[in-house]
Amino acid sequence: MTATRSNPVLAIRNAEKQFGAVHALKGVSLEAHRGEVLALLGDNGAGKSTLVKCISGVHGLDAGQIFLEGEKVSLPSPAAARRAGIETVYQDLALFDNLTPAQNFYCGREIAFPSWLPAGLRFLSSRKMDREAAAVLERLKVKLPKLESPVALMSGGQRQAIAVARASVFARKLVILDEPTAALGLRESRKVLDLVAQLRVEGNAVILITHNMEHVLELADRAVVLRQGRKVGELKPDRNNQQQLVSLIVGAES
Amino acid sequence: MVNIAGDRPVEAGMTSEVRAHHGLSWISLGLWLLGVGPLLILVVLVGVIAALTPDFLKPGNIANIVSQTAVIAIVAVGQHLVILTRGIDLSVGANLALATVIGGLVYRQVDSAFLVMLAMVLAGGAVGAINGIAYVFGRLPHPFIITLAMLSICRGLALELAIGHTTMRGMPDAIAVIGGASSFGIPNSFFIVFGVALLIFVMAKAMVWGRWTYSVGGQPDAALRMGIPVKGVLISTYVISGLCAGIGAVVLAGRTEAASPLYGNLLELDTIAAVIIGGASFLGGRGHIGHALVGAMMIGVIRNALNLLGVDVFFQMIAIGLIIVIAVEADVLRNHLEGRARVLQAARVS
């Protein structure tokens, strides 16, 4: 089915995950490629979030493998996933309200010196971080009122844009977006969607979780549908198979 | 469907933009005022009191305020770090008392200012470490209970170790000089406050540790996901709070040339009050060293002024309580204004 024009950045083979009696993932396999937006679809409880949490290191898989650029990896923590080049933008708790955009950008991976000191005792290269964050926001055309004020003062869309921009800078392999527009109005959603398209142009692999069919049709190069922990379909979404996609999601196959 | 997002009636957009812009200017002004408010109030307070009692601005009285406020200021500097991470340290007062008693016991064995000071500071730090480790690894939902327990334990231990004495007279000369004497007309304790504050300021603002502390206070879950060693950061703030209590013990024992298991009574409330009325947020993540210092100064000035004016000591407690209420409401107002700012930003055509 998949057009394998390149080797997948991310490949998941037969992922299994169980939470007590709940079998959240039942042998799910999928691939993500550079320069491609993969929509991950499914009704609530289909296993999308669980799968994404396994990829971003929040949960471990019970069985199955994760390959990054052909190499088998284990991702025991979110920090390990980030080190491996996987960035995740969560719907909420994406940003630190009390920090500026630049401080948010580099939180947890501050540029600091001297390198012989333990990480926590190093001194921040604040000006360098400010400069580089500003350059990235400029490049991605994210407009913010003031770069030196805390993000608490910024709108939902501006905050989500900062989170996506941050992910794009540090993702060397894959950006995962978990319902990035769920809490946003129309205009602000627009901006975030443009940003997602920009991520693709810059050669990232993107996994997009969304409930919005319009966004899927507009952005996704490929869609994978999960239902009750199983992968039930994979296709290239367009206007003609939109109905098929919906019936795959809700499980009303004819 | 998609196009709707882009197309908006231009006129409606303009007016809402203009309105949003005006609203945001007012909110910025409001937030700025809330930011400098505590300092402003302190300045006004000093002006009013100076007008009421001519004694207030005499150098002797200023030095008096400084040395009386030094202990609150030093311990508040540690407390502000704990509050920054959404915590609270109720044990600081009892911790300080225990530290002076331990220092007093060491002094009975050896007349070494260095060893006595070391004992006090390390005792304080050890209590802080117990607070932090029990909080983090005991998986407690909030540090309130563990630090309350440590308050009780430290106070009891201090009374037990002092074997019935309420004061243990005598301190090495060097400690008495640190806590009680002046240099260049300025109380030495002021230099201790300055040194501690400067050190913590640099750590909080210029070092990675400080950035981590702010992020843990801002969003603990997100900090964990960003790979920040949240547990270590939390423990470190309680250790530093304890060390500050130990340093406060040196200053207080030096000024009084005595140790006492009764020292530091209600110091936890004074320091929390100082941090909050200085302008730090009780919700965590917001605040800096200036807040702790301004708040401590405000408490010192109010106490001193009401003394000079001959106002009853009970009224001092009421006055400080009222100021705390105002400070907390100011924090609520700040959150409200920030929420408004977010909405207005979204309404703006950018």
pLDDT for position B36: 82
Within a 10 A sphere around the Cβ of B144, how many other Cβ atoms?
14
**B226–A107 C-beta distance less than 8 A:** yes
For residue A136, the one-letter residue type is: V
B208 and chain A: CB distance < 8 Å anywhere? Answer: yes
CB-nearest partner of A93 from B211, B219, B338: B219
Name, in order, each residue with C-beta under 8 angstroms of B163's C-beta and a sequence gap of 6 or more: none
What is the overall mean pLDDT for chain A? 86
In terms of average pLDDT, the best of A13-22, B18-27, B130-139 is B130-139
pLDDT for position A4: 47
Name, in order, each residue with C-beta under 8 angstroms of B337's C-beta and a sequence gap of 6 or more: B27, B30, B31, B34
Q: Is the pLDDT of residue B131 over 90?
A: yes
Nearest CA in chain A to B209: A120
3-state helix, strand, coil in chain B (%, to 5): 80, 5, 20
Average pLDDT over residues A4-10: 75
Per residue in A176-198, pLDDT tens? 998 888 878 787 888 888 888 88
Q: What percent of chain B has pLDDT over 90?
A: 53
Chain A residues touching residue B218 (CB < 8 angstroms)? 96-99
Per residue in B218-268, pLDDT tens? 998 889 888 889 999 999 999 999 999 999 999 999 999 999 999 999 999
CB-nearest partner of B346 from A94, A98, A188: A188
**B286–A107 C-beta distance less than 8 A:** no
Q: Decide which of B241 and B30 is more confident.
A: B241
Q: At what angle do helices B289-308 and B267-278 cross, to 10 degrees?
A: 110
| Residue B23 CB-density burial (10 A; 0-12 exposed, 13-18 middle, 19+ buried) | middle
For the record, the structure tokens of B315 come out as: 């009224």
Name, in order, each residue with C-beta under 8 angstroms of B288's C-beta and a sequence gap of 6 or more: B80, B201, B204, B205, B280
- Which of A122, A153, A242 is the best mutation test for B, with the most CBs of B within 10 A? A153
**B24–A145 C-beta distance less than 8 A:** yes
Query: What separation in angstroms does the CA of B345 have from each of A183, A227, B281, B295, B325?
Result: 15, 38, 23, 33, 30
| Whether the Cβ atoms of residue B109 and residue B122 lie closer than 8 Å to each other | no
Chain B residues touching residue A218 (CB < 8 angstroms)? 2
Within a 10 A sphere around the Cβ of A116, how many other Cβ atoms?
6
Domains of chain B: 10-344 (1.10.3470)
Our CA-based measurement puts residue B22 at a distance from the nearest CA of chain A, in whole angstroms, of 14
Per residue in B276-335, pLDDT tens? 988 888 888 888 999 999 999 999 998 898 888 888 888 888 888 888 888 888 888 888
What is the maximum span of chain B, computed from C-alpha positions, in angstroms? Answer: 84
| Residue whose entry in the numeric block shows the structure tokens 């039930």 | A232
Distance of alpha carbon A129 from alpha carbon A138, whole angstroms: 14
pLDDT for position B15: 66
Our CA-based measurement puts residue B345 at a distance from the nearest CA of chain A, in whole angstroms, of 5
| HEC profile of B80-98 | HHHHHCCCCCCCHHHHHHH
Q: Which CATH architecture has domain A10-95+156-250?
A: 3-Layer(aba) Sandwich (3.40)
What is the maximum span of chain A, computed from C-alpha positions, in angstroms? Answer: 64
Q: What size, in residues, is chain B?
A: 350
B207 and chain A: CB distance < 8 Å anywhere? Answer: yes
| Whether the Cβ atoms of residue B110 and residue B286 lie closer than 8 Å to each other | no
B22 and chain A: CB distance < 8 Å anywhere? Answer: no
For the record, the structure tokens of B260 come out as: 């006492």
List the single range of A225-239, B6-20, B26-40, B126-140 with lowest mean pLDDT. Answer: B6-20
Per residue in B65-123, pLDDT tens? 998 899 999 999 999 999 999 999 999 999 999 999 999 999 999 999 999 999 999 99
Phi and psi at A131, nearest 5°, equal -65, -45
Interface of A with B (CB under 8 A): 58, 77-79, 82-83, 88, 90, 93-99, 103, 107-110, 112, 119-124, 143, 145, 152-158, 185-190, 214, 218
B10 and chain A: CB distance < 8 Å anywhere? Answer: no
Our CA-based measurement puts residue B288 at a distance from the nearest CA of chain A, in whole angstroms, of 12
Our CA-based measurement puts residue A152 at a distance from the nearest CA of chain B, in whole angstroms, of 6
Q: Across the A/B interface, how many CB contacts are shorter than 8 Å?
A: 115
User: Where are the strands (E) in chain B, listed by range?
Assistant: 168-169, 182-183, 186-187, 258-259
Per residue in A98-115, pLDDT tens? 999 999 989 888 888 898
| Residue whose entry in the numeric block shows the structure tokens 């309580």 | B321
pLDDT class of B348 with cuts at 50, 70, 90: low
Distance of alpha carbon A176 from alpha carbon A88, whole angstroms: 5
For the record, the structure tokens of B26 come out as: 């007012």
Our CA-based measurement puts residue A190 at a distance from the nearest CA of chain B, in whole angstroms, of 6
**B207–A124 C-beta distance less than 8 A:** yes
| Whether the Cβ atoms of residue B14 and residue B274 lie closer than 8 Å to each other | no
Chain A residues touching residue B1 (CB < 8 angstroms)? 214
pLDDT class of A209 with cuts at 50, 70, 90: very high
Nearest CA in chain A to B287: A98
> Could you tell me the pTM of the whole model?
0.86
* Torsion angle of C-alpha atoms B219, B222, B226, B230, degrees rounded to 10: 60
pLDDT for position B312: 84
H-run or E-run covering A39: strand A36-41
CB-nearest partner of A96 from B2, B222, B338: B222
